[in-house]
A and B are shown apart, each in its own frame.
Chain A
Amino acid sequence: MISEALFFSAVLFTIGVVGVLTRRNAIIIFMCVELMLNAVNLSFIALSRLHGSANGQVFVLFVMTIAAAEAAVGLAIIISIFRHHKSVDLRNINLLKG
C-alpha cells in the first residue's frame, strides 16, 4: 500500500520534471511544477503513515499554503510578461542572452 503510493508519487514527480524540461509555454511549465509539488505531498502523506508521526501531514499543509502563495506570484509575473511580449511562450522571450 505504502510502496504503491511512493511509486505513484515518483511517477507523478517524473511526469512533472519531464513536462518542465520539454514544454515551452510558461503556464504549462508552471502546472508541471505544481504537479511535482503535489507528488511530493503524496509522498509525505504515505511516509507519515509509515512512521505513524504527524510531521509529514503538517508538512503537507505548509507545502499547500506556500504553493498557493507561489501561484499568486507566478501568475502575476506571467501576466506582466504577457503585457510586454504578447505571448507566454518561452521561445518568444529572449532579450537576455549570453
Chain B
Amino acid sequence: MYFDLSIPSQLAGALLPDLILVIGAMLLLLLSVWRKESLGQARLVGLLSIVLCLITFASVVWLWRAHASASAGIIAVDNFRWATDCIVLAATIIAATLMIDYSEREQLVSAESYVLLLLAASGMMLLAASRDLIVVFLGIELMSIASYVLCGVDRRSSRGAEAALKYFLLGAFSTGFLLYGIALVYGATGSTDIATIGTAVTGETFNNPLLLAGIGLLIVGFCFKVAAVPFHMWTPDVYEGAATPITAFMAAAVKAAAFAAFLRVWIEAFPGATSAWIHPLQWLAVITMIGGNVVALQQKNMKRMLAYSSIAHAGYLLVTVVVANSLGASAFLFYLVAYTLATMGAFAVVIALDEPGERNQEIADYAGLWHVSPWLASAMAVFMLALLGFPIAGGMGFFAKWYVIDAALHAPHPQTVLAVILVIASVISAGYYLGVVLVMFMKPRASDAVAVRPVQTGTFLVIYLSAFILLLFGVLPNGFVTLARDSVPISMVNAPAGPPVTAAASQ
C-alpha cells in the first residue's frame, strides 16, 4: 500500500488510525456530557474508550501488515511509527482499565477523564508519526495539555490540583524552550521538515551559532518532557499527586511518546552534527542514570520511588538516543515494551493495595504481603525484577537492558563508558527494587496492617497479564526482537546497519 502524502485523501488514509481515535474521542466526549453525570455512565464511557482503542489498534496492525509506505512528507509511514502506536495504545487501554476500577473505589465521577486519555493518546500517535517540527510541536502540546488536566481530574483532591499546577507551569516553560529551539533550527536550515533539515545539517553549517543554540534548546525541551535529570524536578511531585492510573499513564505512555519523537528527530535531522550533541547527551544520560537511582534509594513512598525509578529508566533510554542508529532504535522499542508492562503492572499493584483516599502507599505498608496474598506479592516481585533487569524472574527486563548495552557497544562510536555506567546504575537500583521484594517476602505483616481487599477485575487482569507476558517473552524474546529489529525509522533502512544483534543471547 502506497500513500502519496501530497494528495489530501491519501494523507487522510495514512493518518487513518489517528483519525479513528480523534473522531471516536469527540463522539465519546459528546456522550459523556449528554446525560446526567453518574458512576455508571462514566463506566460506560470508560468501556467504550477501551473498545475505541482496540479498533484503533486493529487499524494500526492492519496498516503495519499491509506494509504501508509513503512519499516523503510531514508524517512518517513506517514500522517505527506502528510499533510506537501499539505501545501507546496498549498503555492507554491499561490506564483506562485501571481508571475504571480506581474511580469506582474513590467514587470519582469523571467520564471526561477517559476522553482526555484518548486525546492524549492521539497526541502521542501524532508524535510517533511526526516528520516535521510543526507536527512534533502539535503532538507534544496535544499530549501535554490533556495530561495537565488529567493530573487534576479529581477536583476534590488538593494534592491533585497541586500536581496539575506544577506540571502545567513546568510543562509550559519547557514548551517555550522546545519552541525556541525549533525556531532557531528553522532559522539555520530554512525548513521545518526533518528530512530537509537532515540534508542541510552537514559539516559546513555545523559552526552556525543559530543551529548549535537550536540543538541545545531542543535537548533542554525534550529532556524536560522525558524527565532527564537536571530537568526532572517536577516528576516526583506530579507522579505522587496525580491519581495512580494517571501516574501510570504518564510514566509509561507520555515518556514513551516523547522519547519516540526525540529519537526520530535525532536520527533523521541531526546525524550531521553528531560531534555537537554527543557529549552533552552522554553527560545527561550518565547523570540521569546515577541521579535517578541514587535518589530513589532514599524514598519511603511507593509512588515517589517509582517516579525516581522512571527517571532512571529515562537515563537508560537516553543511551539509545546517544547511539542514534538502527540498533539503538530497535533496542529502544524492545525496552519500551518491557518498561511499559513492568511500570503499568507495578502501579496496578499500588492501586490494588491502597485504601480510598490514596493511603497505604508507604513501602513499609507492603511488609509481609507474601503471607496474606502470595500471588500479588509474586506479581509485584516480577515487576520489580523486570525493572531491575534480572534474568529469568525479571522476564523481558533482562533482555531489554541487554539489547541497550549491546546497541551501546556496537555503535559507530562505541559507548563503552555508557554501557559500564548503565550496569553500575542497575546495580545501584537493585538496592531499592530488591528492597521492596525483601520487605514483601521477609518482613512479618504489621499487626495494625489493613486487610487486603479483593482485587477488582480490571486491575486483576492488568496485573497478571502483564506479569505473564513479561515472563513468557522473557523466556522466548525472539518474536519481539524480530519485530523491534524490523521497526526502525525509514531513513535507517538504507543507512549502513551496524552488526546484527547477537543472536546467542536470545536463543
B164 & A80 in contact (Cβ 8 Å cutoff) = yes
Residues of A contacting B304 in the complex (Cβ-Cβ under 8 angstroms): 98
Contact of A33 among B165, B176, B237, B241 (CB under 8 A): B176
**What 0/1 pattern do residues 21 to 59 of A give for CB contact below 8 A with B?**
000001001100100110110011001001101011011
Determine whether the beta carbon of A96 is less than 8 Å from that of B183.
no
Residues of A within 8 A of B443 (CB): none
Cβ–Cβ contact A26 & B165, under 8 A: yes
| Chain A nearest Cβ from B440, distance in angstroms | 23
Contact of B169 with A29 in the complex, beta carbons under 8 Å: yes
Who on chain A is nearest to B295 by CB? Answer: A98
Known: A77-B152, A98-B304. A47 touches B187 (CB 8 A): yes
Contact A70 B190 (CB under 8 A): no
Known A58-B134, A73-B148; contact A36-B176, beta-carbon cutoff 8 A: yes
Which chain A positions have C-beta within 8 A of B148? 73-74, 77
Closest B residue to A50 by beta carbon equals B187
In the complex, what residue of chain A is closest to B142 when comparing beta carbons?
A: A66
- Segment from B154-162, B349-357, B454-462 that makes contact with A: B154-162
User: Known contacts A40-B179, A70-B172, A74-B172; is A81 also within 8 Å of B187 by CB?
Assistant: no
Neighbour of A70 across the interface among B141, B166, B192, B241, CB < 8 A: B141
Is A11 interfacial (CB 8 A cutoff)? no
B-side contacts of A36, CB under 8 Å: 173, 176, 180
Indicate whether B69 reaches chain A with its CB closer than 8 angstroms.
no
Q: Is A37 a contact partner of B176 (Cβ separation < 8 A)? A: yes
Q: Are B180 and A81 in contact (CB under 8 A)?
A: no
Contacts of B145 in A (CB 8 A): 66, 69-70, 73
A37, B137: Cα distance in complex, Å: 13
Given A33-B176, A44-B183, CB of A81 within 8 Å of CB of B161: yes
The smallest C-beta distance from A89 to any residue of chain B, in angstroms, reads 11
Give chain B residues whose Cβ lies under 8 Å from the Cβ of A93.
Answer: 162, 165
Q: Could you say which residues of chain A place their CB within 8 Å of the CB of B191? A: 53, 55
B168 adjacent to chain A (CB < 8 Å): yes
B159 with A96: CB separation less than 8 A:
yes
Q: Which residues of B contact A59 (CB under 8 A)?
A: 134, 137, 182-183, 186, 192
Contacts of B161 in A (CB 8 A): 77, 80-81, 83-84
Q: Of A17, A66, A77, A96, which is within 8 A of B241 by CB?
A: A96
Q: Residue B272 at the A interface, CB < 8 A?
A: no
**CB distance A37 to B236 under 8 Å?**
no
Q: Would you give the 0/1 interface string for B39-61, flagging 1 where the beta carbon is closer than 8 Å to chain A?
A: 00000000000000000000000
Assess whether B162 is in contact with A81, with CB atoms less than 8 Å apart.
yes
> Is B286 positioned at the interface, with any CB of A under 8 Å from its CB?
no
Question: Does chain A have a CB within 8 A of B319?
Answer: no
1/0 per residue, CB under 8 A from A, across B206-249: the answer is 00000000000000000000000000000011001100000000
**CA A55 – CA B86 in complex, angstroms?**
31
- Asked whether B168 lies within 8 Å of A73 as measured between CB atoms, the reply is yes
B130 to chain A minimum Cβ distance, whole angstroms, is 13
B159: A residues at CB distance < 8 A: 95-96
Complex Cα distance A45/B187, Å? 10
- In the bound complex, what is the Cα–Cα distance between A76 and B112 (angstroms)? 15
Chain B residues near A83 (CB, 8 Å)? 161
CA distance in complex: A29, B145 (Å): 17
Does chain A have a CB within 8 A of B115? no
Q: Decide if B149 is an interface residue (CB 8 Å cutoff).
A: yes
Measured in the bound complex, the distance between the Cα atoms of B18 and A86 in whole Å is: 41
Say yes or no for B337: interface residue by CB 8 A criterion: no
Query: Is A16 within 8 A of B176, CB to CB?
Result: yes
Residues of B whose CB lies within 8 Å of any CB of A are 134, 137-138, 141, 145, 148-149, 152, 155, 158-159, 161-166, 168-169, 172-173, 175-176, 179-180, 182-184, 186-187, 190-192, 236-237, 240-241, 295, 299, 304
Q: Known pairs A37-B179, A98-B304. 20 more at Cβ < 8 A?
A: A13-B176, A33-B172, A36-B180, A43-B183, A43-B187, A44-B183, A47-B186, A53-B191, A59-B192, A62-B134, A62-B138, A66-B138, A70-B145, A77-B152, A77-B164, A78-B165, A81-B165, A95-B162, A96-B241, A97-B237
- What are 22 A-B interface contacts by the 8 Å CB criterion? A17-B176, A33-B176, A36-B173, A40-B180, A40-B183, A43-B184, A47-B183, A47-B187, A51-B187, A53-B191, A56-B186, A59-B192, A63-B137, A73-B148, A74-B172, A80-B164, A81-B165, A83-B161, A84-B161, A98-B236, A98-B299, A98-B304
- 6 shortest A-B CB distances, which residue pairs? A36-B176, A84-B158, A47-B187, A96-B237, A51-B190, A43-B183
